[in-house]
Structure 1
Amino acid sequence: MALRFLSNQLQAAGAAFQLITRIPIPVLIPFTPPVLARSSVYYPLVGTVIGGILAGAGWLLFTYVPAMPAAVLLLILWAALSGALHLDGLMDTADGVLSHRSRERMLEIMKDSRVGAMGVIAAVFVLLFKFALLASLLGQEMWLHTALYLAAACGWSRLWLVWAMIGWPMARPGEGMASMFAEVRVRHAAAATLVQLVLVLGIGLLLGLAWGDVLNQLAVQAGLTLITGSVVSGWLCRKLGGLTGDTYGALNEVIESVLLFAALAGGNGFHLLF
């Protein structure tokens, strides 16, 4: 029984990495609804791994490369790690919801593989915003705090996707990427939340940061994720009648951007926010 449980969890973790990253997992995993539901538990782990790689790369670049070109290199790495999956969802979502057409027409536009003007504009704005934030954060001396914040932010944004799956209806029931996660339940979201909390506290401990700083940072990021995710999810649901796989990608990009901005808004060394 224990071996079967462990095997199922390893399979679920592998499925999460295969689905939402380009990190190679050389195992054939069936993307069945039960496996995908279990895989959602490990979305925060996937995000934290991506954020941790970015944080490590940022530390190396900070030592040898000026902040602005370093920020560009980090953005390239960021997109490569996820295969620009979430950015693609953002573009499709922007093309649909900013077309100001009927709900049915918006959903048709989002299914089109071609990218329209609104999608390009949305992607450019988000990438420019992230570039500016990364360049500013790379210029700070408190990189340990920045590293934890970046790793945790990528985990929080993906954790919200799990809660969005159960908190809002699907815009296209029975079709599309979102329908593959129809078996995600509250227990999966609760387990994913526990994974995220353990990861944030564990990384803070490994980095030797003060517990007060780590707990404050956790509370701020959790609150911003909840507020931003709820507002954007509710708005998209009103426009589309529900959420889709593309809107999950858009939610991830928006939440990441908000959390990075909060890190910078905290001031040098995070002494204002934390």
Structure 2
Amino acid sequence: MAKSRLVSAVEPFVVAMQFLTRVPVPVEAEFTERSCRRSVAFYPAAGLVIGLLLAGAAWGLARILPPLPGAVLLTALWIGLSGALHLDGLMDTADGLLSHRSRERMLEIMKDSRVGAMGVAVGTLSLLLRVSLLSVLLGEGEGASAFALAALALIPVWSRAFMSTAIAGWPYARLPGEGLGGLFRTVRPRHAVYAFAAACAIGAVVLAAAGRWNWREGAVMLAVMAIFTYVPGALLAASASRKLGGLTGDVYGALNECAEIGLLLLAAVFIYNA
């Protein structure tokens, strides 16, 4: 009984890790509507695991390689940690939404396992932009700054926190039983609130551990990251929902990619103009 209670307690985090990452977790978890619904609040925690691995890799790469090759390797690690799940969603979403077809046809295109010209173009531009922005964060000669490392640790946290809001805030576009996104139909706004609160708490701990900013500066940094994640994200989600009649699993992944790129751009602008 004690074991089953322990498994039940950690199951939401395990489901979040196994669904969003390729980081090995030696615990078996069942993917059901209930477990997936509960896991949404732990998306920021899964993002933190990715972020800490990225920050650690960036710290090392910045000391042995110039920024550009280091950024390419860091991008490869970033994509690999999620199994290219969100990048695949971005390309499928681009193929569908940019086809300018009917709602039904766009959903069919997004369901197709083959990638079209728009998907390739958007996916390639996304990777190029990610590499170029990471090269700024990795610095030149002096290595990655404390700000850059903190940003890398927290960007996956906030992007996945917004995924929770997208899941809870807009209807699912496909019919019941269609697509992995259908497992999240029962997610409610309170789960998105839990995820947002978790992102705030994680951010506060990471910034406090860095020891470079007082509480006012830390609060401003977290507020700016939240605003630049949720405002553009909500606009993109609302636009996609108008065209599709809701969101899909591919759109959730695309929103995560867009949030990460947007926050990387924000961090690069700050570093470049500092």
Question: What RMSD in Å do the two structures reach over aligned CA positions?
Answer: 1.7
| In 2: Cα distance, 1:2 partner to 1:146 partner | 42
> Match for residue 200 of structure 1?
203
2:158 alignment partner, one of 145, 152, 156: 156
Counterpart position of 2:194 = 191
Are 1:213 and 2:242 matched, yes or no? no
8 A contact 2:38–2:191 mirrored in 1: yes
Q: Which residue of 2 aligns with 1:232?
A: 236
Q: Specify the alignment match of 1:92 in structure 2.
A: 92
Match of 2:254 in 1: 250
Give the one of 241, 266, 269 matched to 1:265: 269
Cα distance in 2, alignment partners of residues 2 and 255 from structure 1: 40
Alpha-carbon distance in 2 for matches of 1:215, 1:5: 36
* Secondary structure of 2:156's aligned partner: helix
Residue type matched to 2:84 in 1? A
Taking structure 1 as the reference length, what is the TM-score of the superposition?
0.94
Is the CA contact (8 Å cut-off) linking 2:168 and 2:191 kept in structure 1?
Answer: no
Matched, 1:166 2:154: no
Q: Structure 1, residues 91-112: CA drift from partner, whole Å, max 9, x if none?
A: 1000111111111000000000
Cα 1:259–1:58 change in 2 (3 A) is: same
How far apart are residue 5 of structure 1 and its match?
Answer: 6.6
**Moved runs in structure 1, 4+ residues, more than 2 A?**
1-9
Superposed counterparts of 1:32-181, under 5 Å: 32-139=32-139, 143-174=145-176, 175-181=178-184
Question: Is contact 2:136–2:271 with CA below 8 Å preserved after alignment?
Answer: no
Deviation at 1:151, TM superposition (A): 1.4
* 8 Å contact kept, 1:149–1:217: no
TM-score (normalizing by structure 2): 0.94
Q: Is the partner of 1:266 in helix, strand or coil?
A: helix
2:227 to 223, 228, 232: 223
Q: Structure 1 pair 2/183, CA: closer, same or farther in 2 (3 Å)?
A: farther
Q: Compute the displacement of 1:3 (Å).
A: 8.5
Q: 1:4 to 1:213 in 2, by over 3 A?
A: farther
Gaps of 5+ in 1: none
Percent sequence identity over aligned pairs: 47
Give the counterpart letter for 1:156 in structure 2. W
Q: CA deviation at 1:152?
A: 1.1
Does structure 2 retain, via aligned residues, the 8 Å contact 1:9–1:38?
no
TM-fit CA distance, 1:9: 3.2
Mapped to 2, the partners of 1:62 and 1:255 lie a distance apart of 24
Letter in 1 for 2:193: A
Residue type at the aligned position of 2:166: A
- 1:76 and 1:156 map into 2 onto residues whose CA distance is 20
Read off the aligned partner of 2:155 and give its amino acid letter.
Answer: A
2:172 maps to a residue whose letter is M
Shift of 1:265: 1.2
Could you tell me how far apart the structure 2 residues matched to 1:2 and 1:145 are? 42
Cα shift at 1:74: 0.2
Distance 1:213 1:3, change over 3 A: farther
